[in-house]
Amino acid sequence: MLPKLQSTEATPLDFVIDVHEASWLGALISLGGVSGNFFFSYVMNRFGRKVSIYGLALPNTCIWFLFYFAKSVEWLYVARVCAGLTGGGMFVVLPIFLGEIADNSVRGRLCSFFNLAMNIGIMIGFIISSYVPYHIIPCAVVSLPLLYFILSTRFPEPPQQLLRWGREEAAERSLKYYRNCDGPSTSNEAQRSYQKQFDEMRQAIEQQVKEQNNESLSLTDFCNKNALKAIVTGLVLMIANIFTGTFAFINYMSNIFEAVHTQLEPNTNTIIIGAVQIVGTLASIYLVDRYGRKILLVVSCAGSAFGTAAFGIYAFYAEETDADLSAFSAWLPVTLMAFIIFVANVGVISVTMVVLVEVLPHRIRAVGTSACLGCLSFFAFTSLKAFPLMMHYFGLAATMWGCAAVSALCLFYVSVFLEETKGRSIYN
């Protein structure tokens, strides 16, 4: 919607926004994200996973009322902060919730479905905002967070949380539900496997509770070698997730295609990229538990470095020279961007949250996850605020080359320092 909101002729509202307001409109989602990270982390640890899951629906519902009734750009700012609250909470609550209910053999794939759902939503948003009038969209979409709230009531609290509360019978029922062992047709072998898994879980949780009761978190929990390496790895993954550029590309996709003078209509290019995101996430779901996390991150960082460098070269010729690019403008920009988005979704976007949960020691997992995701929101704010301004003042080519440099640095770290976490127990 940004190009429309910046156009006097096309804006669906009673006001027009300039490039600086557009940058704030893009970036404020990340300020809300920081608040959402820490607020929902507190709610999750204090009141359980289910309460925090329900709470995600409230700010998401508010978004659409604010968009519909917007009288000035400030209404849009508040809506984007609400979107950040939802997104920040979602990135804290859902990976931990999914990690707790999923078996080790499918955890990577199940967590990747989280990204698949987001990418499907993004593509639908691209399509709808291209062809449906502005004020009809909130009327249709506001039903989705309400439907989400109703559907989420059927899922029990994860068994780990129930064991921490001392509710062993409820934890048994919960684990049976999530392991599909609660029906009369369950085999004896499945029952034995379930009982073994529950006993291991109970012993691990009892040990964690005992350690927490004997000694609260201290500085030494964060300053030992394993914790520091895990935290640094988490921060590098957050940098790779944001500063390789994909997050900003998605938010400013139509503006990017306008800058390189593509012959295809910019919104059509954007819809194509939305579809590529889904294909990349499906590839990640297929590969993540077969070949591991590290190889996907290596391929993703390498591909992002190559793709953004190549797009920067094309943007340089499109912006700074009089070269005739008519033979390439209909297909090369969208092909390069599709490649960048595909390889990012194969690894950097889809696998990051899985690795973050698996790499952090269990004693600092909740705090470490919140801290890393708080940094993610700050990085996202910086990226979204700076990206349109960098395009405006330095050009798209220089901006793309900066993303390529970050991708290359992240590739070095992942290749040398990251350990494979496939199959690692979340109780370690």
In a domain, 425, yes or no: no
Question: SS3 letters for 281-336?
Answer: HHHHHHHHHHHCHHHHHHHHHHHHHHHHHHHHHHHHHHHHCCCCCCCCCCCHHHHH
Answer with the residue of higher pLDDT: 354 or 132. 132
CB-based contact 115:246 (threshold 8 Å): no
Say if residue 333 is in the same domain as residue 357: yes
Summarize pLDDT for 299-349 with one digit per residue, the tens.
999 999 999 999 999 989 988 888 888 788 878 888 898 899 899 888 888
In a domain, 361, yes or no: yes
The b/e string for 360-398 (b: 16+ C-beta within 10 A; e otherwise) is: bebbbbbebbbbbbbbbbbbbbebbbbbbebbbeebbbb
* Residue 149 pLDDT level (bands cut at 50, 70, 90): very high
In a domain, 246, yes or no: yes
The b/e string for 265-298 (b: 16+ C-beta within 10 A; e otherwise) is: ebbebbbbbbbbbbebbbbbbebbbeebbbbbbb
Distances (CA, A) of 314 to 321, 330, 336: 10, 13, 9
Say if residue 302 is in the same domain as residue 369: yes
CATH number at residue 381: 1.20.1250.20
* Residue 119 pLDDT level (bands cut at 50, 70, 90): confident
What's the total number of domains in the chain?
Answer: 2
Q: Which candidate, 404, 323, 354, places its Cα nearest to that of 110?
A: 354
Summarize pLDDT for 383-424 with one digit per residue, the tens.
888 888 888 888 889 999 999 999 999 999 999 988 877 766
If you average pLDDT over residues 81-97, what whole number do you get?
87
pLDDT of residue 299: 92
Residue 22: exposed, middle, or buried by beta-carbon count in 10 A (0-12, 13-18, 19+)?
A: buried
Q: Which candidate, 103, 83, 80, 102, places its Cα nearest to that of 91?
A: 83
In a domain, 423, yes or no: no
CB-based contact 381:31 (threshold 8 Å): yes
If you average pLDDT over residues 56-61, what whole number do you get?
93
In a domain, 428, yes or no: no
Summarize pLDDT for 27-38 with one digit per residue, the tens.
888 888 888 878
Say if residue 25 is in the same domain as residue 72: yes
Domain carrying residue 411? 2-155+217-417
Say if residue 138 is in the same domain as residue 109: yes
Say if residue 59 is in the same domain as residue 78: yes
Tell me if residue 57 falls in helix, strand or coil: helix
CB-based contact 308:396 (threshold 8 Å): no
CB-based contact 64:13 (threshold 8 Å): no
Summarize pLDDT for 59-86 with one digit per residue, the tens.
999 999 999 999 999 999 999 999 989 9
Say if residue 317 is in the same domain as residue 379: yes
In a domain, 332, yes or no: yes
Say if residue 274 is in the same domain as residue 178: no
Q: Which candidate, 318, 321, 340, places its Cα nearest to that of 406?
A: 340
Q: Report the alpha-carbon distance of residue 394 to residue 385 in Å, rounded.
A: 14
In a domain, 400, yes or no: yes
Summarize pLDDT for 358-367 with one digit per residue, the tens.
888 877 777 7
pLDDT of residue 56: 93
Residue 427 above 60 pLDDT?
no
CB-based contact 350:112 (threshold 8 Å): yes
Say if residue 240 is in the same domain as residue 94: yes
Q: Give, as one character, the DSSP assignment of residue 156.
A: P
Say if residue 198 is in the same domain as residue 249: no
Q: Report the alpha-carbon distance of residue 28 to residue 206 in Å, rounded.
A: 41
In a domain, 162, yes or no: no
Say if residue 208 is in the same domain as residue 234: no
Q: Report the alpha-carbon distance of residue 207 to residue 212 in Å, rounded.
A: 9
Say if residue 8 is in the same domain as residue 118: yes
Say if residue 33 is in the same domain as residue 81: yes
If you average pLDDT over residues 214-236, what whole number do you get?
79
Q: Report the alpha-carbon distance of residue 396 to residue 316 in Å, rounded.
A: 8
Q: At what angle do helices 73-101 and 19-47 cross, to 10 degrees?
A: 40
Contacts of 300 (CB under 8 A, 6+ apart): 343, 344, 346, 347, 348, 349, 351
